[in-house]
Structure 1
């Protein structure tokens, strides 16, 4: 004899959770050949604004442009993708020159792109950045 049927609410709740799990997996897809998330870099030059907004010896996160820029010395800039190489999440905040990924806790040195704490194993990809006329531009040169 079969047991009692599951209440409709339980079935619907399970279906909703299964759907959300599928979306989460799609949002955090990884490139199986590389073993880490694909991290696209700007394909066209992107204006980041005033170079003076990046402190010497520090860094600035440009969330909308998905880039993090550091300034190791006055007039010198280095940029990296701000998208975590583990699951593709956007770095949430900077603590000094350490970028934090909110999804799984990876930490990156945003002056070198190197992983400081996993689960990410691949460094942040470097992004070309230029300073001209007091402005910063990330991405390929036009």
Structure 2
């Protein structure tokens, strides 16, 4: 038996463990923020028919109610159907304080934090305190699938 097997290495200090866990958590949070910021840089809306099947499938066209919409928080996007067969997409991040929009009804996208309202047709501000429109996002509609570019 060696002296090493009789005396195990000392455990790391509590402060070292807490610092390491905190640093790992910060790294995850920062990378998540960076990914969300980059995703909202995509501009435009493409309501083209079949032919562009690339991207991430968000929903089926039947999942998006006419005059309403659906928020996809994991992708940071809200998809609306302002009129039958017309689909639009916008960032789900309110331009006032960055809260996530929640409800879409009667052609209006609502932010629950400070009650800003945005047009489901073009993302423009219908009621403040927000002063700028939701950023447009690029989607394609191929058959009954709505794809995020």
Please state which band the TM-score falls in when normalised by the shorter chain: 0.5 to 0.7
Corresponding residue of 1:61: 71
TM-score normalised to structure 1 length: 0.61
**Partner Cα separation in structure 1 for residue 63 and residue 101 of structure 2:** 18
Aligned match of 1:104 in 82, 107, 114? 114
Contact 2:68 2:120 in 1 (8 A): no
Aligned match of 1:92 in 77, 93, 102? 102
* Structure 1 unaligned residues grouped into runs of 5+: 1-37
Q: Return the offset for 1:121.
A: 0.4
TM-score normalised to structure 2 length: 0.58
Corresponding residue of 1:41: 40
CA distances 1:100-135 after superposition (whole Å, capped 9, x unpaired): 212222111122101111111000011111111311
Structure with more of its chain in helix, by fraction: 2
Corresponding residue of 1:137: 147
Q: Cα RMSD (Å) of the superposition?
A: 2.4
Count of residue pairs brought into register by the alignment: 102
Larger radius of gyration: 2
